[in-house]
Chain A
């Protein structure tokens, strides 16, 4: 049941005048220094920047994992800075998916149980045919009863992608999803994510510092010192790398 990407007027997520400040006085660190950015529905966006640029912080705040010092973050139309912990939990469960760099899975649950986890936590049965489709897409059919410790790194990360897709969230946040993988396995994961956007119309925001990874996205947003300094559509690895070299200075 694939749909074509149909960008609507509504953004999947956005940040407006986002500030995240740690410490006070001399030791003040501005992890986000007035960021305003919008992520369109059905698009694959990469956030890039050198270490300490605030890219991870931006993603944590967008995903409701962390709170801003000031500013607004919306998921769909919802201003998440106004939400209670309970509502935020529900939002994460129903509207947000996560893929982390490592430690993505609960070690005591099987692959299938991990995939179904957000649904099960919400007490929902989910759409079984959709889950089947996702499982087949990530090619995990014969691995479903295995525990994470019995899976390879690439397989574990595929389970994580499948979990993020399972509840058909409004948006998926991926934090260096290929950071711990060899390049062949990494490519595999990126292709899955690309397919999820192109074929299923999923919205994905990915933080990475790998130019090749960023080249799978529709759009790249560059961050430095807590500010958005540039963006690029239709990226290629070479162009991204060039841009990053300039940022490095």
Chain B
């Protein structure tokens, strides 16, 4: 072999395997997120597609109402009357027509509580295993008549029922009791992917679910030998054009597609965190290679002296990073499969029951993982490699001459330019928002990345004075540190190699800056939201379907509340979508006369009661956008295609609860025959009734709707905030991973420093420093570096958060709040991080044999 570069490269890696192991670990975690995101989405999507393909079973054609716009699977369609089924049954080539009915319904457990599910809870019409849909009978018999149901296996078990038990079910119109005659199944899952499935025979479904002889859609099976295309055309010809005939496959694909979109969002969130942890890893990799290069200064100079070219030295270092990255990427792909399995298991543990799926590692997953894993690692090693190439050969004999090559300092200029560029991009993305949401986000993210890089570069210049300042100010609780030799040494050592201190701290900076950013945005939104709620909620009670259930409340609930003498104003809040002058908008529907007493929408003009006269209200922002005011009209197209011109009856300024668009309940009811549900119901107590009496009356009705949750103002606000907090916990949890990588980075740097200072430590021990003191000084150094990182993080993160907050619409957040408790906990986290990171290196330093240490060169 006459090519020494690969050999030198490989040996270089092997000689430093433990050092490099830490680097590998950092890359692995980033790649694991990437591959995990892809493996998870690929696997679950295929399982979902298979599930819906199974469910479409023997359905050859499906008939449903058309919609004017919107996503095919999520659109609210008008129901199809049973008569249409009769008309279709007589078409040539049609063997069988079934009604498809699917309505919200809840199982009451044997303990009397509503069964909590992670997915929706449905009542359906099912003609048994011979029916056209692909459901199976797992045990017992299927429901053949009134008073009978089957449940999915998982729900039956969790609700504590066995075949033969009597089960209480809550439907749109209230409770009913049924005998559990069997267990139904859906594809390979023990339940329908987290959904509860309550199956009735079609007639019972129609009565109990209140569908009034109307189906969601009709399933058609072809007669033997009939051509599907011909029958599709014949069926369409036999019915009104407001119904459409599609194939079973298309229907299955649409439904699966809608779920796949949600899975994609989940996957993208994972990819976002992959980006963060890879970015943090890049700093660690950069640092490791920079330190390795300076440690090998003489070796590299010797190679240069005996004739290695600059390029050979560079390719050697880059080659080392290549080996590391490929190793890390392969491990990362496997770890990603673990991540995917873990997430599925986590969801299943909470009852979601993902369809069982084999893990899919696609070529794209491998390529994407390689691309990011190898790309990030090699990119991070490029600068150390270039610097290594600059080491002059004379440094083989006089190492002091070599270090100047490693310390060229143009960082102040470069750092300032990069930071400025980052601020510009970020500002452009956040404030100007050119183009689509995705490109805007990308621009802001790029800006943030540049800011991080720039600040990291600039931080070198302030690392030494900052370390000094930190070691002077921080110790209040550690007072003896500043005066002790150990404390002084730790602090001096942190100042000694500012570049190293800065880049180590930078890795921690990123995670903590993101935490600070999120904290500022979240706290600002939270306080705005709280104040808006306090200002706008005037209702005494809010009734919703509880946080577990996103299906809405049956409208019967609000109707019964209206009859209560203990209550004054009562209004449900319903919703739909419509095109307003061609743009798709969410439209709320309320009872105007009551709503004005329940929610203060800060009316600017007109009247809320005008809603009951068929007019609409809108927020001042869209009013300005469309240039309309009270008395003007807007053209509205509802989803079923009904077009209306509606007069503006009022303009309001507070959209925190009402959203941007409001119509009256009657307006919505008149255009849609779809069965409505209420998102929530607001109610006010009648004059002279105590809140306790009113609550007792409301709870009594709520007993018939067990999933409903009755909340007073304080409880409502608390539950809204709880949802918000849960989201924050997830975000913080994922950012912790980036902080963990930074801990690895600090540990790595400290370990390398200890290695370099072997002689120095030997000397210190020889002149009488105890092991404990030595450990303490290393720990202190790590704490200073970590706190420096935290301070940088806060300095970068808080303004970023403030900028994002300012850029958000005022109706959403109207102030910038700096959450000091979070910032203090960030600092405390940093101290803990420093102490933890120093454990290993400190122990190693203390173990050094004094004599050997002194004689080492």
Q: Which chain A residues have a beta carbon within 8 Å of chain B's beta carbons?
A: 56, 60, 63-66, 85-86, 89-90, 92-94, 97-98, 100-101, 103-109, 113, 116-125, 163, 175
**What are 18 of the A-B contact pairs (CB < 8 Å)?**
A60-B394, A65-B393, A65-B397, A89-B308, A90-B307, A90-B309, A92-B304, A92-B306, A92-B393, A101-B397, A104-B302, A106-B299, A108-B12, A109-B8, A121-B4, A121-B303, A121-B308, A121-B312
Question: Which residues of chain B (391-433) have a CB below 8 Å from chain A?
Answer: 392-394, 396-398
Q: Which residues of A contact B11 (CB under 8 A)?
A: 108-109
Q: Which residues of A contact B855 (CB under 8 A)?
A: none
Contact of A100 among B12, B15, B299, B396 (CB under 8 A): B396
The distance from the CB of B293 to the nearest CB of chain A, in whole angstroms, is 15
**B4 engages A117 (CB within 8 Å):** yes
Given A65-B392, A100-B396, A101-B397, CB of A125 within 8 Å of CB of B2: yes
Given A60-B397, A65-B392, A123-B2, CB of A103 within 8 Å of CB of B307: no
Given A66-B394, A121-B312, A122-B307, CB of A103 within 8 Å of CB of B4: no
**B307 engages A108 (CB within 8 Å):** no
Contact of B3 among A104, A106, A120 (CB under 8 A): A120
Given A109-B8, A109-B11, CB of A100 within 8 Å of CB of B397: yes
Q: Is B696 an interface residue (CB 8 A)?
A: no
In this complex, the interface size class of chain B, counting residues with CB under 8 Å from chain A, is 20 to 34
Q: Is B265 an interface residue (CB 8 A)?
A: no
Chain A residue nearest to B12 in the complex (CB): A108
Q: Which residues of B contact A122 (CB under 8 A)?
A: 307
Q: Is B95 an interface residue (CB 8 A)?
A: no
Query: CA–CA, A38 to B302, complex, Å?
Result: 26
Chain A residue nearest to B4 in the complex (CB): A120
**B397 engages A175 (CB within 8 Å):** yes
The distance from the CB of A118 to the nearest CB of chain B, in whole angstroms, is 5
**A107 engages B15 (CB within 8 Å):** yes
Q: Give the 10 A-B CB pairs with smallest separation, nearest first.
A: A93-B307, A108-B11, A120-B4, A65-B394, A89-B309, A118-B307, A65-B393, A66-B394, A118-B306, A92-B307
**B14 engages A108 (CB within 8 Å):** yes
**B2 engages A117 (CB within 8 Å):** no
Query: CA–CA, A101 to B398, complex, Å?
Result: 11
Q: Is B305 an interface residue (CB 8 A)?
A: yes
Contact of B396 among A86, A90, A103, A120 (CB under 8 A): A103
Contact of B303 among A85, A106, A113 (CB under 8 A): A106
The distance from the CB of A57 to the nearest CB of chain B, in whole angstroms, is 10
Query: CA–CA, A60 to B308, complex, Å?
Result: 17
Q: Which residues of B contact A108 (CB under 8 A)?
A: 8, 11-12, 14-15
* Binary CB contact string for chain B from 287 to 319 against chain A (1 if under 8 A, 0 otherwise): 000000000001100111111111010000000
**A113 engages B307 (CB within 8 Å):** no
Query: CA–CA, A97 to B305, complex, Å?
Result: 9
Question: Which residues of chain B (1-23) have a CB below 8 Å from chain A?
Answer: 1-4, 7-8, 11-12, 14-15
Query: CA–CA, A107 to B857, complex, Å?
Result: 14
Q: Could you count the A-B residue pairs with CB atoms below 8 Å apart for me: how many are there?
A: 91
* Binary CB contact string for chain B from 12 to 44 against chain A (1 if under 8 A, 0 otherwise): 101100000000000000000000000000000
**A98 engages B306 (CB within 8 Å):** yes
Query: CA–CA, A116 to B4, complex, Å?
Result: 9
**A98 engages B299 (CB within 8 Å):** no
Q: Besides the contacts A98-B305, A100-B397, what 5 more A-B pairs have beta carbons closer than 8 Å? A: A89-B307, A89-B310, A120-B1, A121-B307, A121-B309
Interface centre among A94, A107, A116, A121 (most CB of B within 10 A): A121
Q: Which residues of B contact A123 (CB under 8 A)?
A: 2-3
Q: Which residues of A contact B303 (CB under 8 A)?
A: 106, 117, 121
Interface centre among B11, B312, B393 (most CB of A within 10 A): B393
Q: Which residues of B contact A60 (CB under 8 A)?
A: 394, 397
**B8 engages A94 (CB within 8 Å):** no
Q: Which residues of B contact A113 (CB under 8 A)?
A: 4, 7
Chain A residue nearest to B16 in the complex (CB): A108
Query: CA–CA, A125 to B394, complex, Å?
Result: 27
Given A65-B394, A100-B396, A109-B8, CB of A89 within 8 Å of CB of B304: yes
**A85 engages B310 (CB within 8 Å):** yes
Contact of B306 among A85, A86, A117 (CB under 8 A): A117
Query: CA–CA, A240 to B396, complex, Å?
Result: 29
Q: Which residues of A contact B397 (CB under 8 A)?
A: 56, 60, 65, 100-101, 175
Interface centre among B11, B306, B309 (most CB of A within 10 A): B306
Q: Which residues of A contact B7 (CB under 8 A)?
A: 109, 113
The distance from the CB of B316 to the nearest CB of chain A, in whole angstroms, is 11
The distance from the CB of A3 to the nearest CB of chain B, in whole angstroms, is 24
Contact of A103 among B15, B302, B392 (CB under 8 A): B302
Query: CA–CA, A117 to B7, complex, Å?
Result: 11
The distance from the CB of B308 to the nearest CB of chain A, in whole angstroms, is 5
Query: CA–CA, A122 to B3, complex, Å?
Result: 8
Query: CA–CA, A124 to B307, complex, Å?
Result: 12
Chain B residue nearest to A169 in the complex (CB): B307
The distance from the CB of A217 to the nearest CB of chain B, in whole angstroms, is 20
Interface centre among B4, B7, B12, B309 (most CB of A within 10 A): B4
Query: CA–CA, A98 to B842, complex, Å?
Result: 40
Q: Which residues of A contact B304 (CB under 8 A)?
A: 89, 92
Contact of A163 among B3, B8, B306, B394 (CB under 8 A): B306
Query: CA–CA, A177 to B397, complex, Å?
Result: 12
Q: Which residues of B contact A106 (CB under 8 A)?
A: 8, 299, 302-303
Query: CA–CA, A181 to B8, complex, Å?
Result: 28
Chain A residue nearest to B304 in the complex (CB): A89
Query: CA–CA, A92 to B306, complex, Å?
Result: 6
Query: CA–CA, A105 to B122, complex, Å?
Result: 76
Chain A residue nearest to B401 in the complex (CB): A66
Query: CA–CA, A97 to B306, complex, Å?
Result: 7
Query: CA–CA, A60 to B301, complex, Å?
Result: 13
Query: CA–CA, A116 to B7, complex, Å?
Result: 13
**B396 engages A92 (CB within 8 Å):** no
**A119 engages B394 (CB within 8 Å):** no
Q: Which residues of A contact B1 (CB under 8 A)?
A: 120
Q: Which residues of A contact B307 (CB under 8 A)?
A: 89-90, 92-94, 117-118, 121-122
The distance from the CB of A211 to the nearest CB of chain B, in whole angstroms, is 22
Chain B residue nearest to A109 in the complex (CB): B11
The distance from the CB of B607 to the nearest CB of chain A, in whole angstroms, is 84
Q: Which residues of A contact B8 (CB under 8 A)?
A: 106, 108-109
Q: Which residues of B contact A104 (CB under 8 A)?
A: 302
Q: Which residues of A contact B3 (CB under 8 A)?
A: 120, 123
Query: CA–CA, A123 to B2, complex, Å?
Result: 6
Query: CA–CA, A101 to B302, complex, Å?
Result: 12
Chain A residue nearest to B312 in the complex (CB): A121
The distance from the CB of B301 to the nearest CB of chain A, in whole angstroms, is 9
Given A109-B7, A109-B8, A120-B2, CB of A65 within 8 Å of CB of B305: yes
The distance from the CB of B261 to the nearest CB of chain A, in whole angstroms, is 53
Interface centre among A56, A60, A65, A98 (most CB of B within 10 A): A65
The distance from the CB of A178 to the nearest CB of chain B, in whole angstroms, is 15
Q: Which residues of B contact A119 (CB under 8 A)?
A: 2
Query: CA–CA, A94 to B309, complex, Å?
Result: 12
Q: Which residues of B contact A93 (CB under 8 A)?
A: 306-308
Q: Which residues of A contact B4 (CB under 8 A)?
A: 109, 113, 116-117, 120-121
Interface centre among B8, B305, B392, B398 (most CB of A within 10 A): B305
Question: Which residues of chain B (308-351) have a CB below 8 Å from chain A?
Answer: 308-310, 312
Q: Which residues of B contact A89 (CB under 8 A)?
A: 304, 307-310
Q: Which residues of B contact A90 (CB under 8 A)?
A: 307, 309
Query: CA–CA, A50 to B2, complex, Å?
Result: 42
Q: Which residues of B contact A94 (CB under 8 A)?
A: 307
Q: Which residues of B contact A116 (CB under 8 A)?
A: 2, 4
Chain A residue nearest to B9 in the complex (CB): A108
Query: CA–CA, A87 to B397, complex, Å?
Result: 21
Query: CA–CA, A185 to B304, complex, Å?
Result: 27
Q: Which residues of A contact B12 (CB under 8 A)?
A: 108
Query: CA–CA, A119 to B394, complex, Å?
Result: 20
Query: CA–CA, A133 to B392, complex, Å?
Result: 32
